[in-house]
Structure 1
Amino acid sequence: MKAFILERYGKSNQMKFTDISRPIIKPDQILVQVHAVGLNPIDTMIPTGTFKPILKFELPAIMGSDLAGIVVEVGSKVTRFKSGDAVYASVFDTGSGSLAEYAVVAESAAAHKPQQLDFVQAASIPMVGLTSWQAFQEHGSAINRGQKVFIPAGSGGIGTFAIQLAKYFGAIVATTTSSQNITLVKQLGADEVIDYKTQDFENLLHGYDFVLGAVKGDGVEKALQILKPNGKLISLVGPPDAAFARKRGMNFLMKWVFGLISSKIIRLAKKRNIQYAFMFVHPDGQQLSKIAKLIDDGHIKPVIDQVFSFDQTLDALAYLEAGRAKGKVVVRLI
């Protein structure tokens, strides 16, 4: 089968197409014929080696995390799926990849595709959907109606989904974007929109309950200024903390390193009586099933910027890395 693989860490030319054997599944896995793959910013960061100490990733490896497709084979212990089922899933951090004609997916990571979406639309959902769900329902200790939530970069992949999910939970949502995307984020449900090119959100927003830290740089520290006491700051971009290292069973050295690099943000958060945590998304088919219902009920709609063919995967990654996508970038295989 044709697959897009990363041979070694380094520059983008370390990724290429190759022909490999069709994978053999284990009893608790399904084999999916991949119709489409949603790309995520981490797909442009993995090849540099940034996440080498963290991810379950053995080179050479198939790239990609999100997928939508048709089940062609099920393991002997699989009970939720059968051949011919349309599914979607994230295989992030499982040792598998999705940018291939066929992908191995753990039964626990997959869900039936939302009926209202085609395969391209469905492939755009898993990582941004799971990230938003887990931030708001696990780390966020369940966002409640009327709470104030700040979601920066509202026109991006995470932002376009997270705004809609936060509004479904009844939150009052603020976001940042450029002037040309203000209409888009308002249509998604944003109540207050900051033009990040001309305004500083930390000077305009106050008394927030929750911040989803999704922008690199000093935005995470600045976000502390808008949170009220007992507020929560869940960061997707770091710095990772010692609690994250413990959760992943890392050695003492990694716990010490992560504790060191996160010491400043944790110290600043404690001064303001704010809870800080670094979050790493995990695959979860049950959560994807709940997200599929929200989509089929009309509460959430995918936002897709561009669709590339499988042969254009390098172009798709370059476009995503440029940082100008409104919503998601998707690779179509079938």
Structure 2
Amino acid sequence: MTNHPTHSNPLAVSTEFSLRQHNTFGIAAIASHFAEIRSVADLQSVRLNPQLMSMPRLILGGGSNLVLSDRIDALVLHMCVQGKQIVGSDADSVYVQVAAGENWHQLVLWTLAQGLGGLENMALIPGTVGAAPVQNIGAYGLELKDVFHSLDAFDWESGELLTLDKAACQFAYRDSIFKQAFKGRMTILQVTLALPRLWQPRLGYADVQRFLDQAGITAPTAQDVCNAVIAIRQSKLPDPAQIGNAGSFFKNPIVSAAQRTQLLTQFPELVSYALEDGRYKLAAGWLIEKAGWKGRQLGRAGVYEKQALVLVNRGQATGADIRALAAAIEHDVSALFQVSLEAEPVFTDSVQAM
């Protein structure tokens, strides 16, 4: 992993490949071309192939942040690069290097088994490590950027491997340079995390603190916090293996203090969180529930009855079904609150040639 293997067998490209097992919504999409990427050499072989480079390209990790169209006329590259190791430490941090194809939740459990805290608040987030920086994943008061050191990425323009530090990644709320200027240009190969030597629990979310209080835990360990997060998530979120979904579907919208004050006059029970810059983050799940969508269904897609932030596949739903449901929810929330919701997942009907 660390040395980026450059030798591999010839890249096998499949045609008319089903992606049903490669997306957590369980959408029965067909990719015109599909290949598994297990090394830098695999990426380089694509770049040196004019026919493959002429196609639109979609990088696929765990498929947990995608709404697939029925047919994807593109080269879908499934990142399967594996490996994880502790690569060093200093006075403040222990550095862990992880390949893009590793499962995120299994990484969290592995770091805890090594006696390293720092990732526990992001337990049970679906997807792979390579996708984590793109979205700047986060949960329960922690974001990837808080434990991020650097990453190595393949530059499709130059064919070179580049190392980007935290500043270069331009992390923001569920955003990064990989969704902006570097969209389609960079493919992440491995991520280096900086986990704290002096660990302190992050207990800013009431649900986590409540769980620990009920369990009688007054001095929680990282494993205790992890257990709490897993239990909370399992109580609210459906298992994609049982019900197709992509986890939290909408970003929590951010509004000005003035807009929040105005909303509070009409909705005193509004759920919001203060940000350092004076603005407020609103709970998208609360807005959706208040708009009457919790537990409702539109065609073959619906809103999960236990958590309004989660859209689910009720059986044979297509990407168009999911999009139609999302649009209806966005419309009703905007009409009621004058607040715009933004979807977290990527809709692949907008895949462009890279």
Same fold (TM over 0.5): no
User: Who wins on radius of gyration, i.e. which is larger?
Assistant: 2
TM-score, length basis structure 1 = 0.29
TM-score, length basis structure 2 = 0.27
